Structure 1
Amino acid sequence: MPLTRSLARCALALLAAALVQPSMAGPVLDRIKSSGTVVIAHRESSVPFSFVDPDGKPVGYAVDLCLKLVDALRRQMAAPDLKPRFVMVTPANRIAMIEEGKADLECGSTTNNAERRQKVAFTVPHYIAGARYLVRADSPVDVIRDFKGRTVVSTKGTTPLKAVTQANNEYQLGIRVVEAPDHARAVDMVAAAEADGFAMDDVLLYGLVAGRPDPGKFKVVGKFLTIEPLAIMFSRSDAEFKKLVDDEMKRLIQTREAHVVYERWFQKPIPPANRSLNLPMNYLLKDFWKYPTDQVPG
């Protein structure tokens, strides 16, 4: 009997420990443990969220937030030597890179929507944007209907591309909608008059223009075509990993550490041109961060 009671006490102690401490098990966490690295997918030109600076280093608002998530993983996993490793992705391949386990966190300007949640998971949004239009400074265009019979470019694999295509069909505007492989190429097309406008999240448009030597050549126009909750993306196959990421994002917001990161990238000079975007936090994000959650409409 004493032995039975002793075994029972041990079993209860083990169960209590399991309930108190995270299991740290799952395909993503197992991969991170075995490799000693967290693979961060970044973008080339999604200023100020995720881009490459003049020295070739991945930088940006979302990248900084992801590095804070890596710090949290070091603490939770008791793995002080855990290192980030960066891999560049595009709008076209970013979801596949997460699905196939080639990246652990996608740190960029990706919209959390229902279609994508069938394949991947998202944490609390770090920005809420709206798609508008980048046009040349002398353009008469102001709203979507002004593009009738003109050419609009958007980036392959993005929600604004789908939205402008849908609006074109709905209003029968006869817009020639073309795809660009990345944001930078789309801006170049507008600059060279190969396209009359570039449909994309407004904050990205401001960032792209601020980094050019000719910012006065452009303007951002139009009402919001879409509302875009942008969030860090990762695998939907590891519930423990998701909980850890969600908890840390909520902590960063509630302690205002995330606000400091926001100010660094939206209200102070940033590369490549060392100019400030001068974009205070919009009311959509302020309201959303009062009660941070990964649950978004749509």
Structure 2
Amino acid sequence: MFNRQISAIKIVSLLALTASGMLPLVSAKAEDTTLERIERTNTFVIGFRSDKHPFSAITPTGDVEGYSIDLCHGIYESLKKDLDKPDLELKMIEVTADNRFDYIKDGTVDIVCSATSWTLEHQKKVSYSLLTYVTGAEMLVKDDSRIRSLKNLTGKKAGLIYGTLTADIMTKRIKRDNLDIELITYKYPQQGIQALENREIDAYIADRIILIGLLDEANAPNDLKLVNRFYSYDPYALMFARQSLDFKVHVDRYLANLYRSDKSLKLFNKWFSHMGIRSNENILRAMFKLQSIPE
């Protein structure tokens, strides 16, 4: 219990630093072209990942939906109002782990709305909004498994999701601790869950919230279980061009207003309440509160 309290305190402290502006800011020297491009083209372009339920995913009917998608739809509506463009067009473009930074840099998309990790290394290339979710790496195993820690994976196989912060952190940690674990990387999250169900791997390591989302879609979710142990801290945010300070103000204003209202809890209930205690509701409530930046 004490360790959990310490972890929560660390997360809340980081959120406080974010909300107070004490984390490194992007440079104001480069030209901000995002808002200018949106006005000139009369189009707002959202980049999304198709396999990041419940943040962004394609439904069987071909629609794009998710928690992050709802956030960006809200930003789109606020842009229509603030730019006085009621006919502003909304365009959706699928991005991948490999091309998302290039698409932001060259202006193919204005914003990426998915389960995007905010890291200081990535901040050298792009900028981020206020935090949208807080999670961390966990393990999913078969229900009859006795695996409870990384050490229990010695001589076994573990799956990771390609191009994620969790994959990078866990690969370095396993190498640092000299653990004999065979790591198998999957390009698409669903491939890993299938491999675990088929016992091709012994554990699947990814962000807790992504694993829970995959459980929603698993063939036999009751045959799988989380080990209930975090191995990292992973903050999510919306991503856009590094120099887009004016656009960042617009995005952050929308999020701060949302976090000050009951709409944030309604959005939480829509996408996460069915997860029960696994949803980290208390941490999310703290995140909403700490980032309710006043006008």
Q: Give the structure-2-normalised TM-score.
A: 0.84
Question: Matched residues in 2 for 1:37 and 1:214: separation?
Answer: 42
Do the aligned partners of residues 148 and 210 (structure 1) sit closer, same or farther apart at CA in structure 2, a change above 3 Å counting? same
- State the 1:38 CA deviation: 1.1
Aligned counterpart, 2:33: 27
Q: Is the 8 A contact 2:110 2:241 kept in 1?
A: yes
Q: AA paired with 1:106? A: V
SS in 2 for 1:124: strand
* Aligned residue runs from structure 1 range 51-130, under 5 A: 51-130=57-136
1:199 has 2:205 as partner: yes
Question: Matched residues in 2 for 1:133 and 1:118: separation?
Answer: 30
| Alignment gaps of 5+ in structure 1 | 1-24, 268-275
* Aligned partner (choices 265, 273, 277) of residue 271 of structure 2: 265
Which whole-Å deviations, capped at 9, do the CAs of 1:240-298 have from their partners, x for residues lacking one? Answer: 1011111111011012322211111112xxxxxxxx3335553322222222179xxxx
SS in 2 for 1:287: helix
Greater CA drift, 142-151 or 91-100: 91-100
Q: Is the 8 A contact 1:91 1:155 kept in 2?
A: no
Count of paired positions: 262
Q: Is the 8 A contact 1:65 1:258 kept in 2?
A: no
* Aligned residue runs from structure 1 range 114-193, under 5 A: 114-193=120-199
Question: Matched residues in 1 for 2:204 and 2:211: separation?
Answer: 8
SS in 1 for 2:130: coil
Larger radius of gyration: 1
Q: AA paired with 2:209? A: V
1:243 has 2:242 as partner: no
Aligned-residue RMSD, C-alpha: 1.7
Aligned counterpart, 1:282: 281
Which whole-Å deviations, capped at 9, do the CAs of 1:125-174 have from their partners, x for residues lacking one? Answer: 11100110111222211111111121111111101101111121121111
Q: Is the 8 A contact 1:91 1:182 kept in 2?
A: no
Which whole-Å deviations, capped at 9, do the CAs of 1:53-93 have from their partners, x for residues lacking one? Answer: 11111100110010000011111100011122111122233
Q: Is the 8 A contact 1:124 1:293 kept in 2?
A: no
Q: AA paired with 2:246? A: E
Q: Is the 8 A contact 1:129 1:201 kept in 2?
A: yes
- State the 1:44 CA deviation: 1.4
Aligned-residue sequence identity (percent) comes to 27
Q: Give the structure-1-normalised TM-score.
A: 0.83
SS in 2 for 1:225: coil
Do the aligned partners of residues 282 and 67 (structure 1) sit closer, same or farther apart at CA in structure 2, a change above 3 Å counting? same
Q: AA paired with 1:234? A: F
SS in 2 for 1:198: strand
